Amino acid sequence: MANGVSSFWGPVTSTHEWCEPNYVYSSYVAEFFNTISNVPCIMLALIGLVNSLRQRFEKRFSVLHISNMILAIGSMLYHATLQRLCSKLAWLRLEYKDSLSLWPWQQQGDETPMVWEMLLYIYILYSPDWHYRSTMPTFLFLYGAVFAIAHSQLRFDIGFKVHYAVLCLLCIPRMYKYYIHTEDKLAKRLAKLYVATLLIGTLCWLVDRAFCKDISRWYFNPQGHALWHVSMGFNSYFANTFLMYCRARQREWDPKVKHFLGVLPYVKIQKPKAQ
């Protein structure tokens, strides 16, 4: 705790601590920059949601944008309190002193939604190739449910990270196939922006982790973790916009990439009269 500002949320219970000093600006916000840097992600997801609803894209895209918002809000709460999500409420309600007994609660806070979102990506990417319409969503739903239950009972740690990485890797080949079959230059640029923001974000995250000791001595902290949040907000937006473009082409909705206020790309479609 810096500058003697006291904390509203009690002692830090998170297992990770980031390079930003705690409680500098307010006793309600543990990490100021790491908290507000989630706002762009929420705004971008909101823009994506409005665009998807207004043009009546399939519901899967609304769910995707909403899940991005939920994850960003979860991240905000986490960085603001540095408590695993829900644990403050659980402390108040149950007065548990043993944080281990809160484990099932905490796990459902962020990691389970992350896996559910990844399953949704897999569905969006692969379902057009699937022969039997209902088998894939049923399988993915059961998979997500079994995961949530198992995750609430067992500690995964490294296992969770490996499992999540495998889910991410599963998306890459199909994403690449969409990319090479896309001719439109502006749509191709969405995919390139997706890769660029992923690389920039990862670099910021790594530098923040690896050089935290040095950075803490600098006069100015570049807030690598906050920059990672901003990059990932754009990253999800570009991924979702690219997928909306690809889906609209499959459905022959004549998609075009336009720019909101001259900068932010979005997909505009023209559905045939019969639909």
Tokens of residue 56, six digits? 């009546």
Q: Is 17 annotated as a binding residue?
A: no
Tell me the C-alpha distance between 243 and 175, whole Å.
9
Q: Is 22 annotated as a binding residue?
A: yes
Q: Is 252 annotated as a binding residue?
A: no
* Among candidate residues 229, 236, 235, 238, the one with its CA nearest the CA of residue 204: 229
Tell me the C-alpha distance between 117 and 41, whole Å.
15
Residues 249-269: b if buried by 16+ CB within 10 A, e if exposed: bebebebebeeeeeeebbbeb
Q: How far apart are the first and last CA of the chain?
A: 58
Nearest-Å Rg of the Cα atoms of the chain is 20
* Among candidate residues 78, 88, 69, the one with its CA nearest the CA of residue 18: 78
- The answer to whether the CB of 29 falls within 8 A of the CB of 80 is yes
Tell me the C-alpha distance between 253 and 247, whole Å.
9
Beta strand extents in the chain (DSSP E only): 256-260, 264-268
Q: Is 31 annotated as a binding residue?
A: yes
Instruction: Extract the annotated binding site for Ca(2+).
Output: 18, 20, 22, 31
As annotated, the binding site includes: 18, 20, 22, 31, 79, 225, 229
Binding residues for Zn(2+): 79, 225, 229
